[in-house]
Amino acid sequence: PESKLPSLGTTIFTQMSALAQQHNAINLSQGFPDFDGPHYLQQRLAHHVANGANQYAPMTGAQPLREAIADKTAERYGYKPDANSDVTVTAGATEALYAAITALVRTGDEVICFDPSYDSYAPAIALSGGVVKRVALQPPHFRPDWQAFAALLSEKTRLVILNTPHNPSATVWQNADFAALWQAIAEREIYVLSDEVYEHICFTDAGHASVLAHPQLRERAIAVSSFGKTFHMTGWKVGYCVAPAAISAELRKVHQYLTFAVNTPAQLAIADMLRHEPEHYRELPDFYRARRDLFIDALRGSRLEILPCEGTYFLLADYSAISDLGDVEFCQWLTKEAGVAAIPLSVFCADPFPHTLIRLCFAKQEATLLAAAKRLAAL
């Protein structure tokens, strides 16, 4: 058939994980932990399966989970969404992003993204007939340029998509960034899609700044999160979004025909986890900070230059002292010849991204990180 997405191939994550497997490389490319999530969470899943929670969950999400999400949001961001009208459980953050974009973007609408940006946004926008406008973020700090942002605003601007903590740059927004965003769009009817899947993996003193903590912005925002990241269970594919009732109602119209509902026992198990073991996500910054620091320490002797890492479980490294290759070729070489798989940054950008940066995932056991660092330090 004539392709609706002619320039699109298979995602870089699938490509690099396959290449890593083929060459028996240590896989620091696709972002996922090589350790298991909490034992309690697994036990609760088994419990709910054994107790007959095996039929469709409510379309909007299991009630105990929506309530636990509303309470967690209140605890973290000082704002309690209505569990019935404002919280929707989705099949991972990926589904939430797709449903949000599909619900909001009409043919010819413009959507502003910050590049590098996560790879699922642009195809969803294209399938809705929208047009992506990009603000380039520059290394090493990847701060938004608000003048460049303002220059992109037009009558057609419908949606802004942001991501903090940011994959792949590992930088985070501060409250001042949200204030600047509000100032730029206050007078216009523009919605905000805030991808906050790494909300609990933030290392700054100020902590994660959520769109939900901004009283005006949250009136037009959809905040998206993922339990895959928070509970080390990327394969469970349970995420959610929080948005005002009117926006949630539109999003649910898409969600009900995209997946209808998310698997029941996993939702109930996650609700138990949020209620009974909140220390898990409260301690997540320390948990990942220790891994980040161990990995950075182990890389000290290497010729890679490590960039600042304020959040997420990704670390950026500049390899220009090692190779003249472009980043895609370098990552292929690194996988095949050095036995470490990484993600090239240029794949997250539509425009040329003339930097020599790779993304390394440190959601790994100590032994994995030390073994990878040894190989990288030998280059």
Where along the sequence are the contacts to ligand PMP (CB under 6 A)?
A: 31, 92-94, 118, 163, 167, 195, 197, 226, 228, 234, 239
Q: 230 is in the binding site of which of ligand GLN, ligand PMP, none (Cβ under 5 to 8 A by kind)?
A: none
Closest separation in Å from C-beta 181 to ligand GLN: 23
Nearest residue (CB) to ligand GLN, 157 versus 335:
335
Distance of alpha carbon 113 from alpha carbon 22, whole angstroms: 34
CB-CB contact of 108 with 260 (8 Å)? no
Burial class of residue 180 (count of CB atoms within 10 Å of its CB; 0-12, 13-18, 19+)? middle
Ramachandran angles phi, psi of 225, nearest 5°: -140, 175
* Residue reference for tokens 């927004």: 173
Closest separation in Å from C-beta 234 to ligand PMP: 5
Closest separation in Å from C-beta 299 to ligand GLN: 20
Q: 93 is in the binding site of which of ligand PMP, ligand GLN, none (Cβ under 5 to 8 A by kind)?
A: ligand PMP
Report, in this order, helix, strand and coil percent for the chain, each rounded to 5.
45, 15, 40
Residue 213 token pair: 């903590």
x-or-dash pattern for ligand GLN, window 166-185, by CB under 6 A?
A: -x------------------
Which position among 13, 79, 182, 287 is part of the footprint of ligand GLN (CB under 6 A)? 13
Q: 11 is in the binding site of which of ligand GLN, ligand PMP, none (Cβ under 5 to 8 A by kind)?
A: ligand GLN
Closest separation in Å from C-beta 337 to ligand GLN: 22
Burial class of residue 306 (count of CB atoms within 10 Å of its CB; 0-12, 13-18, 19+)? middle
**Enclosing H/E stretch for 132:** strand 131-136
x-or-dash pattern for ligand GLN, window 124-163, by CB under 6 A?
A: ----------------------------------------
Contacts (CB under 6 A) with ligand GLN, residues 18-37: 30-31
Ramachandran angles phi, psi of 195, nearest 5°: -85, 105
Q: What is the DSSP letter of 236?
A: G
Interface residues with ligand GLN (CB under 6 A) are: 11, 13, 30-31, 167
